[in-house]
Structure 1
Amino acid sequence: MIEVIAAIARWFQLVANLVLLGSCVFLAITNTGKRIYTAAWIEKLERFFPWLAASIPLGLFIILTTTIVQITGNINSLWQQEVWLGIVSDTQVGQIWVWRVAAAMLLLAAVIYLRKTPKARWRYILCAASATLPLIASSLASHTAAEELSVTAIMLYALHLVFAGVWFGALPAFLLLIYENHKYDKNKQGNDLEFETLKRFSSIALPVMLLIILTGIIVGDHIFADYYAALVATPYGWMLCAKIFLLGIILLIAIRVRSYLPLLANNQQIAEGNRNRLSMRKWVRVEFFLALILVMLATLITNTTPVKHALIDNWPFSFRFSIAATWNQPYVAAQVWIGLAILVLAVGILKLGQSLKWGLKRLVGIPVILFVSGLAIALPPLTIQAYPETYRRPLVPFDAISVANGATLYAEHCVECHGPQGKGNGIKSRTLSTKLPDLLTEPHTTEHTPGDFYNWLTYGMVNTDMPGYAEKLSDEDRWDLVNFIHALSRGYQARILSPEIIPNKAYVKPPVFSYIGHDGSSGALQDFREHEAVLLIIFSWPQSKDRIEQLKAAYSRFNEQNTAVLAVPTKDLSPDELAQIAQELPFPVITQSAAEIVSSYSLSRRTLSHPDIIGRGTIPDHMEFLIDRYGYLRARWIPSIDQSGWSDIDRLSQQISLLNREKNKIPFPEDYVR
């Protein structure tokens, strides 16, 4: 019941806000010239403004009360002042609520001022500008802001709301104008004024709707982040699909309404004019009703688990779309482009039909047939086989322990066929009936999901020699193998790294890890995110003795540059060796999880000049990795390959300075492979 009340309150205050914005924009655009009869409908519309403005803070108050009940689980907490103060002052939700209420009260003041001032267009512009403030404040509570609290992300969502208000909020004013004009149907000047008013608004309605769609696509792409399968497999996606479907119907109705405007201008017969006006009013009422449902869906979506955190345990289809896995196959690109050309033709036919004043069935039917035909041609070549586990979230995170265990399992169960480095050249590969894929150098892991690999490891692959391991390996072990396969591929992709970073290019996602140092310190790689860059040293003893001394002497410099240093030995150290290394060492030598870190990070040892894809490969004695404050691997130095490189501390310090100067805020790497 609480959820229902909260949803209604969110919907009601949003509708009130949008109607205020759209109505004021409508009045600002259309209130020009002398009016004989329009003062009546404007006055009626303005009477609702104070009620609409007052309902916004009222709705926000109800939202906060329901939030408190949901958080505390006790309705009696509503009578406790300290609970209210705690929510408002100590939580992000409460602080955003304060900003929203402040913006709503400012809007209420603007509306009251508008009602008491002489009639002038600037009043509506002021009121419309004030009506955008609660919408901008509400965008702080959106899924977009939750994922990335940045000006760009928030403003895109806010613009989406503002443009929606300009369109949706104008519909009541649109209806009221048509209704009031019906009383003056004998006045030809009234008809002319009505036509000019509606025409003026219609001229901006189309670009506004296009901006709604554009900002919606950008915001949706940010939220889905290449996880578009959630559109048809999660509650969030289902509601968004319903919203898009409703929007499509509304666009068709808008086209129908727009077709009446020339008829209003050319009417000479009163009876015919009344019929056209009544038909237009009927369709606008339907459009407004559907828009109310669309806004309700939008409010429900904002309170639904976002797609990045939604789980798809069982993909419902036996296929999925993948450009990466199909585009380079014969004839795929040509077929897709032909299908897209037919889709463009459908849009062209629709515009042609409008200009030729086709009937509704013909105007809609022909473009729909072409649209469906275009999809039927373009989509099939992009399909590949899918499984119930295709979009299943991995059971274990992409961390060093999982990758290291996967490497051990790979050596035990997979190396004889797939080869020591996943090249498909194991000792049994020539005896198999099918050619094995190259898991290292080819984009096999990017063309298939982790869930695909999990399915193959569990049940095997049909019509191949690949067996299933459901009886031999636990779920965790199979996911560890999936993580190792992805680490293997990512490690090869990291060959483009060098001792010099590429500014503002963060794409290599290393395995995370937890650690315990010789000095008792402990933590995880994720702990440094947003705070410090990390210089990860993988060293051998005593071969790396001079380098450790050099880093020790330069540590204060790293500290000033807000960079942590972690040292990881390539093999277990004896107590004497550890004591010798750690003497007056200002940074920790990792003693727990060291073997797993070395095993997983050594997969990123390859460089463009030394691809190291022959045989089992060799792990260098010393490697250094520079990880930025968002968790991405940005640079790497291998002394045996890169020669001098970071042996000059000034050069290393320069790279850290470049990282520190980067201003772009980017999302953290996912904790699970995708």
Structure 2
Amino acid sequence: MLEIIAALARWVQLVANLILLGSCVFLIITSTAKRAQPKVWIGQLERLFPWLAVSVPIGLLVILSTTIVQVTGSPSSLGEHEVWLGLLGDTRVGQIWILRFTAAILLLLAVLYLCKASRARWRYAMCAAIAVLPLAASSLASHTAADEFSVTAVMPYVLHLILAGVWFGALPAFILLILDRHNETNERVINFEFETLKKFSSIALPTMLLIIFTGIVVADQIFDGYYAALVATPYGWFLSAKIFLLAIILLIAARVRSYWLPLLNCKQDSDVNSGKSGIKKWVRIEFILALLLLLLATIITNTTPVKNALIENWPFPFRFSVIATWNQPNVANQVWIGLAVLVLAAVVLQLGRLRNWGIKRLIFIPAILFISGGAIALQPLTIQAYPETYRRPPVPFDATSVAHGAAVFAQHCVECHGLQGMGNGIKSRTLSTKLPDLLIEPHTVEHTPGDFYNWITNGMVNTDMPGYAEKLSDEDRWDLVNYIHALSRGYQARILTSEIVPNKAYVKPPVFSYGTHDGSFGTLQEFRENKTVFLVVFSWPQSRDRLEQLKQTYERLKEQNVALLAVPNKDLAAEDMEQLVAEELPFPIVTQSAAEIAESYALSRRTLSHPDIIGRGTTPDHMEFIIDKSGYLRARWIPSVDHSGWTDIDHLSLQISLLNREKMNTSFPEDFVR
């Protein structure tokens, strides 16, 4: 019940806010039209303004009250001022609410001033500008702001709301103007109506296009490439319904603009009356549908966002994938042909409108072309999907999981897939199907982690790949998925060198947690936004000289805001550990999870000059990696391959300086494979 009350409160205050904004914009347009202004409809509209303005802060008070009851679990807490003060002063939700409520009060004061003052274009503009403030403040509580609290993340949502206000908020004024019965036989008034509505219609079209564009930008931020959720999660279902309603509204608006509105400019009274009747009917329907659309929008804001929603079972036996199909024979040609048919459908639709085709013919022929074009374009992009295709891995992409996955792979997969996953195991030649190369080929990019999980669990139809549901636990299978992705990512890291390539971050290393010889603990993620990580994977005592050099330059690295972690490439014996401690190294030596970290990062050992794809491969005794503040692997030095490299501390310092000077804005790597 509380959720319903909160949703209705959000809806009421949003509708009121948008109508105030759009009505003021419409009145600005009216004041620039030819002066034959019938005052009645303007008076009716302005009498609504105080009620609308009061609805905004009242709605916010209801939202805050329901939030308090939900947080405390007791309606009686509404009478405790300490609870109110605690929520408002100590939480981000409360602080954003204060900002929204303050903006709502400013809007109320502006409306009261507007109602008492004489009508003037600048006063409507002032009220419209102030009506933007509560909308802008509300965007701070959106899903986009929750994911990334920045101007670039929030601004598309703010623009989306403002543009929605310009379109939707003007519809009541539009309706009142066309319903005004005063002087409706006056030719000057009819001309005024036509010019005003035509001017608004010309503004509404680009406004609607911008609403669609900003909506796509916001949706892209929220979905973050996870578009399958559009048809497989409650958030996606509500959004799909919203898009469907918007499509109907666009069709109505297009019909009003192209057919009914021009009738107002006809000389025949019957045509004018028909035009007014059609506009009255369809704009009211458009307004009702828009109200439902906004109700869906408010429900969406209180629905679990896509990034946190889980698709446990994909409902279709297929999915579309450009990456997995584009390089196959004739796929590109067929897609382009399909797109050409879609363009033809749009051309035929426009041609039919110009030649005044009948409604059935106008709909039927373009619809057949549109469906045909879509089928031609999408069919070659279709690949098989499984219930687990879009299931998110429950096991993070971390060093422990990758190392355990490597052990599982060695036990169950090497005989067929080969020591490095290249499909060249000792049994590969006896199999009925050619095995994919999991190392070099972009196989992991073309399929989802859920696809791999399904194949490992159930096997692959029409191949020799067996299922391992009975042999491996659920966690083992996900560890195997992580290892397969680590193999591929490690091979892609071969282009890394000891030189930083500015503003190029794409290699996502495994995350890890660790414990050190001095008893401290931490995770790789803790350094994000704070420090560059210099990861040194060493062997003892072979790396003694390099560790001594780093000891001498450690203070210089600290001054550059670098966290140095020294990781032995295998578990050290007690006496070796004593020798290391005796060296009095100023940086931490990782003891807990050291072997797993070293093994998972050794997958990134390959270089362009030393691909290391023969047999088992060779793991270097010493490797060093630079991980930037966003969590991306940016440079790598292997002494046995790259020779001098970072033995020149000035060169190492220069690379870190380049990272420190970067202004690149990029999201953190996901902690789970995608």
| TM-score, normalisation: structure 2 | 0.98
Post-superposition CA distance 1:540-561 (Å, at most 9, x none): 1111111111111222222222
User: Which one-letter code corresponds to 1:240 in the other structure?
Assistant: L
Aligned residue number for residue 257 of structure 1: 256
Offset of residue 360 of structure 1: 3.6
Inter-partner Cα distance in structure 1 for 2:643 and 2:116: 78
Offset of residue 140 of structure 1: 0.8
1:333 and 2:326 equivalent?
Answer: no
- 1:183 is paired with a residue whose SS is coil
User: Which one-letter code corresponds to 1:115 in the other structure?
Assistant: C
Post-superposition CA distance 1:222-242 (Å, at most 9, x none): 211111110110001111111
Inter-partner Cα distance in structure 2 for 1:558 and 1:76: 57
Aligned residue number for residue 18 of structure 2: 18
Inter-partner Cα distance in structure 1 for 2:406 and 2:595: 12
Aligned residue number for residue 179 of structure 2: 179
1:490 and 2:489 equivalent?
Answer: yes
Deviates more, 1:401-410 or 1:74-83: 74-83
Query: Any residues of structure 2 matched to 1:39-58 within 5 Å, and which?
Result: 39-58=39-58
Is the contact between residue 431 and residue 464 of structure 2 (CA under 8 Å) also seen in structure 1?
Answer: yes
Aligned residue number for residue 92 of structure 2: 92
Aligned residue number for residue 467 of structure 2: 468
Aligned residue number for residue 558 of structure 1: 557
Post-superposition CA distance 1:268-307 (Å, at most 9, x none): 22x4322221111100000000000000111111111111
1:641 and 2:641 equivalent?
Answer: yes
Aligned residue number for residue 71 of structure 2: 71
Query: Any residues of structure 2 matched to 1:461-610 within 5 Å, and which?
Result: 461-582=460-581, 583-610=583-610
Is the contact between residue 20 and residue 52 of structure 1 (CA under 8 Å) also seen in structure 2?
Answer: yes
Is the contact between residue 538 and residue 570 of structure 1 (CA under 8 Å) also seen in structure 2?
Answer: yes
- 2:507 is paired with a residue whose SS is coil
Aligned residue number for residue 199 of structure 1: 198
1:223 and 2:222 equivalent?
Answer: yes
User: Which one-letter code corresponds to 2:15 in the other structure?
Assistant: V
Is the contact between residue 34 and residue 192 of structure 2 (CA under 8 Å) also seen in structure 1?
Answer: no
Inter-partner Cα distance in structure 1 for 2:72 and 2:651: 54
Inter-partner Cα distance in structure 2 for 1:344 and 1:26: 35
Aligned residue number for residue 626 of structure 1: 626
- 1:551 is paired with a residue whose SS is helix
Inter-partner Cα distance in structure 2 for 1:112 and 1:651: 67
- 2:608 is paired with a residue whose SS is coil
User: Which one-letter code corresponds to 2:424 in the other structure?
Assistant: N
Number of equivalenced pairs: 672
User: Which one-letter code corresponds to 2:314 in the other structure?
Assistant: W
Post-superposition CA distance 1:234-274 (Å, at most 9, x none): 001111111111111001000111121211111322x4322
User: Which one-letter code corresponds to 1:401 in the other structure?
Assistant: T
Post-superposition CA distance 1:45-102 (Å, at most 9, x none): 1111121112111111111111111111111111111111111111111111111111
Deviates more, 1:69-78 or 1:154-163: 69-78
Query: Any residues of structure 2 matched to 1:314-333 within 5 Å, and which?
Result: 314-333=313-332
Offset of residue 28 of structure 1: 0.9
Post-superposition CA distance 1:524-543 (Å, at most 9, x none): 11111122111111001111
Inter-partner Cα distance in structure 1 for 2:485 and 2:165: 45
Offset of residue 33 of structure 1: 4.6
Offset of residue 620 of structure 1: 0.7
- 1:184 is paired with a residue whose SS is coil
Query: Any residues of structure 2 matched to 1:343-358 within 5 Å, and which?
Result: 343-358=342-357
- 2:426 is paired with a residue whose SS is coil
Inter-partner Cα distance in structure 1 for 2:626 and 2:360: 63
Is the contact between residue 38 and residue 182 of structure 2 (CA under 8 Å) also seen in structure 1?
Answer: no
Post-superposition CA distance 1:165-222 (Å, at most 9, x none): 1111111110000001x43221111111110000110111110000001111111112
Offset of residue 495 of structure 1: 0.8
Offset of residue 363 of structure 1: 3.4
User: Which one-letter code corresponds to 2:142 in the other structure?
Assistant: S
- 1:390 is paired with a residue whose SS is coil
Inter-partner Cα distance in structure 1 for 2:455 and 2:193: 66
Offset of residue 37 of structure 1: 4.5
1:119 and 2:119 equivalent?
Answer: yes
Aligned residue number for residue 394 of structure 2: 395
User: Which one-letter code corresponds to 1:122 in the other structure?
Assistant: W
Aligned residue number for residue 266 of structure 2: 266
User: Which one-letter code corresponds to 1:262 in the other structure?
Assistant: P
Query: Any residues of structure 2 matched to 1:275-294 within 5 Å, and which?
Result: 275-294=274-293
Is the contact between residue 516 and residue 593 of structure 1 (CA under 8 Å) also seen in structure 2?
Answer: yes
Inter-partner Cα distance in structure 2 for 1:406 and 1:322: 27
Is the contact between residue 540 and residue 621 of structure 1 (CA under 8 Å) also seen in structure 2?
Answer: yes
User: Which one-letter code corresponds to 1:646 in the other structure?
Assistant: W
Inter-partner Cα distance in structure 1 for 2:175 and 2:354: 25
User: Which one-letter code corresponds to 1:522 in the other structure?
Assistant: F
Offset of residue 626 of structure 1: 0.8
CA gap of 1:362–1:252, structure 2 versus 1, over 3 A, is farther
Is the contact between residue 185 and residue 274 of structure 1 (CA under 8 Å) also seen in structure 2?
Answer: no
Aligned residue number for residue 102 of structure 2: 102
**% of aligned pairs identical?**
71
User: Which one-letter code corresponds to 1:611 in the other structure?
Assistant: P
User: Which one-letter code corresponds to 1:660 in the other structure?
Assistant: N
- 2:271 is paired with a residue whose SS is helix
Offset of residue 359 of structure 1: 4.1
- 1:266 is paired with a residue whose SS is coil
Is the contact between residue 457 and residue 468 of structure 2 (CA under 8 Å) also seen in structure 1?
Answer: yes
- 1:516 is paired with a residue whose SS is strand
- 1:45 is paired with a residue whose SS is helix
User: Which one-letter code corresponds to 1:102 in the other structure?
Assistant: T
Aligned residue number for residue 236 of structure 1: 235
User: Which one-letter code corresponds to 1:616 in the other structure?
Assistant: R
Post-superposition CA distance 1:90-132 (Å, at most 9, x none): 1111111111111112222222222232221111111111111
- 1:308 is paired with a residue whose SS is helix
Offset of residue 408 of structure 1: 0.5
Inter-partner Cα distance in structure 2 for 1:361 and 1:110: 50
User: Which one-letter code corresponds to 1:248 in the other structure?
Assistant: A
The root-mean-square deviation of aligned C-alpha atoms, in Å, is 1.3
Inter-partner Cα distance in structure 1 for 2:116 and 2:460: 76
Post-superposition CA distance 1:380-412 (Å, at most 9, x none): 110100111111111211111110011001111
Inter-partner Cα distance in structure 2 for 1:438 and 1:643: 30
Offset of residue 340 of structure 1: 1.2
Deviates more, 1:617-626 or 1:349-358: 349-358
- 1:260 is paired with a residue whose SS is helix
Aligned residue number for residue 424 of structure 2: 425
User: Which one-letter code corresponds to 2:196 in the other structure?
Assistant: T
User: Which one-letter code corresponds to 1:364 in the other structure?
Assistant: I
Inter-partner Cα distance in structure 2 for 1:29 and 1:351: 29
Aligned residue number for residue 375 of structure 2: 376
Deviates more, 1:655-664 or 1:133-142: 655-664
Post-superposition CA distance 1:121-180 (Å, at most 9, x none): 111111111111111111111111111111111001110111111111111110000001
Aligned residue number for residue 300 of structure 1: 299
Alignment gaps of 5+ in structure 2? none
Alignment gaps of 5+ in structure 1? none
| TM-score, normalisation: structure 1 | 0.98
